[in-house]
Structure 1
Amino acid sequence: MSRGSTITAGPPAPGTLAGMEIRRVGTSGLRVSSVALGTMTWGRDTDEHEAAEQLKVFLEEGGTLLDTAATYSGGVAEEVIGAMLGQVADRDEVVICSKAGVRDGRVDASRGALLDGLDATLARLGTDHLDLWLVQAPDPGTPLSETVSALTYAVRSGRTRYVGLSNHPAWQTARVATLLEAEKVPMTGVEMEYSLLQRGVERELLPAAQDLGIGLLAWSPAGRGVLSGKYRRSVPADSRAASPHLRGFVEPYLNDRARGVVEAVATAADGLGRAPIEVALAWVRDAPGVASAVVGARTPAQLRGTLAADDLQLPEEIRTALDEVTEPATGYPERRG
Structure 2
Amino acid sequence: MEQRRLGDSGLWVSCLALGTMTWGRDTDQHEARDQLLAYAEAGGTLIDTAASYGDGDSERLVGALLDNSVARADVAIATKAGIAVRRGERRVDVSRKALLDQLDDSLDRMDLDYVDLWQVQAWSDDAPMDETFSALDHAVTSGRARYVGVSNYSGWQTAAAAVHQRSGAARVPLTATQVEYSLLQRGAEREALPAAGRLGLGVLAWSPLGRGVLTGKYRGGTPADSRGATSHLAPFVDPYLDDRSRHVVDAVCTAAEGLGALPLEVALAWTRDRPAVGAAVVGARTAAQLRDVLGSDDLVLPDEIRAALDEVSAVPLGYPERMP
- TM bucket by the smaller chain? over 0.9
Deviation at 1:166, TM superposition (A): 0.3
Q: Give the C-alpha shift of residue 140 in structure 1.
A: 1.8
Matched with 2:234 is 247
C-alpha separation in 1, matches of 2:323 and 2:158: 23
Partner of 1:265: 252
4+ residue segments displaced more than 6 Å: none
Q: 1:159 aligns with which of 140, 144, 149?
A: 144
Partner of 2:210, secondary structure, is: coil
5 Å matches for 1:138-177?
138-177=123-162
Q: Mapping of 1:38-49 within 5 angstroms? A: 38-49=19-30
User: Any residues of structure 2 matched to 1:51-130 within 5 Å, and which?
Assistant: 51-104=32-85, 105-130=90-115
Counterpart position of 1:29: 10
Cα distance in 2 between the residues matched to 1:78 and 1:212: 30
Q: For the residues of structure 2 that align with 1:103 and 1:231, how far apart are their CA atoms?
A: 31
Mapped to 2, the partners of 1:196 and 1:178 lie a distance apart of 29
Q: Distance in 2 between matches of 1:325 and 1:244?
A: 31
SS of residue matched to 1:187: coil
SS for the counterpart of 1:208 is helix
> Following TM superposition, by how much is the alpha carbon of 1:187 offset from its aligned partner in structure 2, in angstroms?
0.5
| Partner residue of 1:311 out of 265, 276, 298 | 298
Q: Structure 2: any 5+ residue segments left out of the alignment?
A: none
Correspondence 1:213-232 to 2 at 5 A: 213-232=200-219
Q: Say which SS state the counterpart of residue 225 (structure 1) adopts.
A: helix
Deviations 1:268-326 (A, max 9, x none): 00000000000000000000000000000011100000111010000001001100111
* 1:287 maps onto 2:268 in alignment: no
CA distance in 1 between partners of 2:310 and 2:240 (Å): 18
Distance 1:314 1:226 in 2: 20
1:256 and 2:243 are equivalent in the alignment: yes
Q: What TM-score results when the alignment is normalised by the length of structure 2? A: 0.97
Q: In the TM superposition, what is the alpha-carbon distance from 1:63 to its structure 2 partner?
A: 0.3
User: Aligned partners of 2:82 and 2:181: how far apart in 1?
Assistant: 21
> Deviations for 1:31-56, whole angstroms, at most 9, x for unmatched residues?
10000000000001000010000000
Look up the match of 2:186: 199
Q: Deviations over 1:238-295 (max 9, x none)?
A: 0000001100100000110000000000000000000000000000000000000000
Does the residue aligned with 2:318 lie in a helix, a strand or coil?
coil
Amino acid at match of 2:280: A
**One-letter amino acid of the structure 2 residue matched with residue 147 of structure 1:** T
Question: 1:41-82 CA deviation, whole Å, 9 max, x = no partner?
Answer: 000100001000000000000001000000111101100010
Percent identity over the alignment is 60
| Residue from 113, 136, 140 that aligns with 2:121 | 136
Q: Secondary structure at the match of 1:218?
A: strand
The 3-state SS of whatever aligns with 2:278 is strand
Pairwise CA RMSD of aligned residues?
0.7
Structure-1 residue corresponding to 2:307: 320
Q: Which 10-residue stretch deviates more, 299-308 or 182-191?
A: 182-191
| Counterpart-to-counterpart distance in 1, 2:116 and 2:238 | 33
Q: How far apart are residue 184 of structure 1 and its match?
A: 3.8
CA distance in structure 1 between the partners assigned to 2:30 and 2:294 by the alignment = 19
Instruction: Measure the CA separation in 1 of the matches of 2:83 and 2:310.
Output: 34
- d(CA) in 2 for partners of 1:206 and 1:273? 31
* Pairs within 5 Å for 1:15-26: 20-26=1-7
Flag structure 1 segments of 5+ consecutive residues without an equivalent. Answer: 1-19
Q: Distance in 2 between matches of 1:79 and 1:328?
A: 38
**2-structure distance, mates of 1:117, 1:42:** 18
